[in-house]
Structure 1
Amino acid sequence: MVGTQDPKREHSEPVLYDFATGDELSQALAEYVIKKQNEAIERRNMFTVATSGGSLPKLLAKHLVGRSDKAVRWDKWQIFFADERLVPLNHEDSNYDLCNKELFSKVPELQPSQIHTIKESLLEDPEELSDEYEKQLADAFTGKDSVRNPVFDLILLGMGPDGHTASLFPNHPLLGEHGRWVAPIYDSPKPPLRRITLTYPVLNHAHHVAFVLTGEGKQDALGKVLGDPEKHLPASRVRPLVPGDVLFFTDNEASKKTEYPRTPFRL
C-alpha cells in the first residue's frame, strides 16, 4: 500500500499530562481509552487500536480489566501492534506474548480474530511478513481511507531512552520511509535485530496517539523529545495531522527534566 503525506495540513503539537504516581496515570489512561472507544463505536461501531510492548500492557490492564461497570466494549476492539519482533508469538521477546500475559489472557470477551498478529510461518522472510501484515491493515480499514492510509482510532506507544518509538530508531533509514504502512527492519540497534514496524504515514494519520511513560529512565528522552523543534528524534516526529492529536501520559519521575507545559487532565 502507498502512504501519502499532505503538506497542506498542519501537524498537532504535543499535550503533556503529568501524574503524581503510576497508578494515577494508569487510571487516567483507562478513562481516556474508554472515552476514545465510545467515540469510535459511535462513528462506525468499531474501535481500532495499535499498541506497543514494554510497560504499557500492564499499565493499560490495571484499570481496564475486571471493571464492574462494563464500560470497556471489548467485543468492538480490533487490536494491532505498532511493532513486533520477528520471533514466535510465545517467545519472551514477542510484544504479542507480553500483551497476552498482561492483558489479553485476562479478557475472555476478546476473540483471537480481534487480535492481529504477525504470521509465524513468514518469520524467515521479513519482507513478505511486512506485506502480509500490511494486508491485514488494508482488510481491517477497507472503506475508511484505506486507499491512502489506515486511520487508527488510537495508537498507544512507548519510548526508549534514545527517543525511539515502535521500531523507529534514531538515524535509521526507516525514518524516511513514507511509501509503506509496515516496514521490516533487519538491523535494530537493540535485540532482536529483525522486526516490523508501523511507519510515520500510519502513526501520523491516527485520530489519537498516546505515549505512556513512567520512571526516571525516561527523563532525558522525554525532555529531548518535547524540546526538539527540528524533530530529530523518532518520537518527536510523531505528530498526527490535525484534527488528530498526540498526548503524553507520564508520571512525575518521567517528566522531572522537561520544562514543557503541563495540561490538567480532563475528559
Structure 2
Amino acid sequence: MPHTTAPPVLYTFDDSSKLQNSLANFILKAQTDAINHRGTFTIALSGGSLPNQLKPLAEMEGVAWDKWQVFFADERIVPLDHPESNYAACAKAFLDHVPLKREQIHTLNTALFTDFTKTNPTDEPKDADEAENEAIEIADDYEQQLVHTFAGANSARYPTFDLILLGMGPDGHTCSLFPGHPLLAESTRWVAEILDSPKPPARRITLTFPVLNHAFRCAFVATGEGKQDTLATILDKPEEGLPCSRVRPISPGLVFWFTDKAAAGKVVYPQTEYKWIQQERINESEDPIGAERRKMKAEMDAAVEAANA
C-alpha cells in the first residue's frame, strides 16, 4: 500500500488564551490516544516562542505525567542552563512546574562537551575539527537516546513520535532545518548536527525530516502579524518548498497549525474550527488519528480478502 499524506489542518484563534488552552487540550487528546494504544506518550518540543505557549499544561487536569517521554525537536549545543538552550526555555515555562522525573526528559549529553563549549558555547570554535567531531558525537548520542526509547515499540525504520510540537521561523525554517541547507535532503539519520546555522548559535542538533514525517501528529504554533507572509507561503504555496511546508507525515500521521488571526491574516488556505474535547469524551471516534487507523485497517482487511478470493 503506497504511503500518502493528508493536507494540513489549520486552526485559527481570536486570542492567545484560546490558542494556548486549545493547544493544551490537543496535547491531552494526543496523550490519551497514545497511552490507550501503547501505554506511553512520546513528545518532542521546540524552542523559540513555543515554550510560553505551553504554560496552561501545568494547570491542566488529566495529564498522565508519569507516562511522558520528552525529547527536543532541535537543540543548541550549549549548557542546559544557558539562555540559548531550548531545554532551559521549556523548563522555565512548564517542565519545572510539573511532576516529570528528570530521566523522562531527554537532553543533550553534556558529558560530551569540550571545555570550550562549557565556557564559550556561542563563540566561534578555535579548533574547527574538534568542534565538528564534538557536534557529530552529540548528535549520535541523542540518536541513541531515541533508539533506546523507541526500540521494541515497533520495527519501523524511524521512530514514531506521538506528537512533535514545532515553531515557524520568519524564513520558514522549523527545528534547525533552514531553507536551502543540505540537511533538507538528509534521508537516513534520525538526528543530525548543523555547524553553520544561519541563526546563531551556529552549532546545533536537529531531528531530520524522516523523523518528522513518521510522527502520528506534528503541530505548528505561529502567532503575530510578522508571520503573515511566511505562513501564507507555507500553506498556500507549498510548492515553493519552505522547510515548514515539507512537514507532511505519512498516513496515518497528520500535521496541524495553531495560529492567531494576526498570523493567518493573509492565508487563503481553509480554516477548521477546533473542537474542544473533554477528557471523558476522548475516544477514537472523535480523533482524526483514530479514524485514519480504522481506515487503514479496513483497507488492509479488504486487500487480504481480495488476495484470498
TM-score by length of 1: 0.94
Q: CA deviation at 1:229?
A: 3.4
Deviations 1:42-100 (A, max 9, x none): 11110000010111111112x21123xx3111111100000000011110000001011
Alignment match, 2:10: 16
The whole-number CA distance in structure 2 between the counterparts of 1:155 and 1:90 is 23
Alignment match, 2:49: 55
Alignment match, 2:197: 188
Alignment match, 1:3: none
> Any residues of structure 2 matched to 1:69-218 within 5 Å, and which?
70-107=61-98, 109-123=99-113, 124=131, 125-145=134-154, 147-218=156-227
Conserved 8 A contact 1:231-1:237: no
Q: How many residues align?
A: 257
The whole-number CA distance in structure 2 between the counterparts of 1:26 and 1:102 is 13
> Which secondary structure state, in structure 1, belongs to the residue aligned with residue 200 of structure 2?
coil
Alignment match, 2:59: 66
The whole-number CA distance in structure 1 between the counterparts of 2:251 and 2:16 is 29
Deviations 1:140-159 (A, max 9, x none): 00112355000000000000
The whole-number CA distance in structure 2 between the counterparts of 1:146 and 1:116 is 22
> Which secondary structure state, in structure 2, belongs to the residue aligned with residue 254 of structure 1?
coil
The whole-number CA distance in structure 2 between the counterparts of 1:77 and 1:86 is 24
More displaced 10-residue stretch of structure 1: 86-95 or 222-231: 222-231
The whole-number CA distance in structure 1 between the counterparts of 2:28 and 2:267 is 28
Deviations 1:184-204 (A, max 9, x none): 000000100000000011000
> Any residues of structure 2 matched to 1:215-254 within 5 Å, and which?
215-254=224-263
Q: CA deviation at 1:257?
A: 1.1
In structure 1, stretches of 5+ residues that fail to align are 1-5
More helix by share: 2
Conserved 8 A contact 2:216-2:249: yes
The whole-number CA distance in structure 1 between the counterparts of 2:238 and 2:169 is 19
Conserved 8 A contact 2:166-2:221: yes
> Which secondary structure state, in structure 2, belongs to the residue aligned with residue 151 of structure 1?
coil
> Which secondary structure state, in structure 2, belongs to the residue aligned with residue 155 of structure 1?
strand
Q: CA deviation at 1:41?
A: 0.6
Say if 1:113 and 1:184 are closer, same or farther in 2 by CA, change over 3 A: same
Say if 1:146 and 1:165 are closer, same or farther in 2 by CA, change over 3 A: farther
Q: CA deviation at 1:242?
A: 1.2
Conserved 8 A contact 1:138-1:146: no
Conserved 8 A contact 2:57-2:94: no
Conserved 8 A contact 1:50-1:154: yes
After the TM superposition, which segments of 4 or more aligned residues of structure 1 sit over 6 Å from their partners?
none
Paired AA for residue 95 in structure 2: F
The whole-number CA distance in structure 2 between the counterparts of 1:255 and 1:144 is 38
Paired AA for residue 34 in structure 1: L
Q: CA deviation at 1:217?
A: 1.6
Q: CA deviation at 1:231?
A: 4.9
In structure 2, stretches of 5+ residues that fail to align are 114-130, 278-309
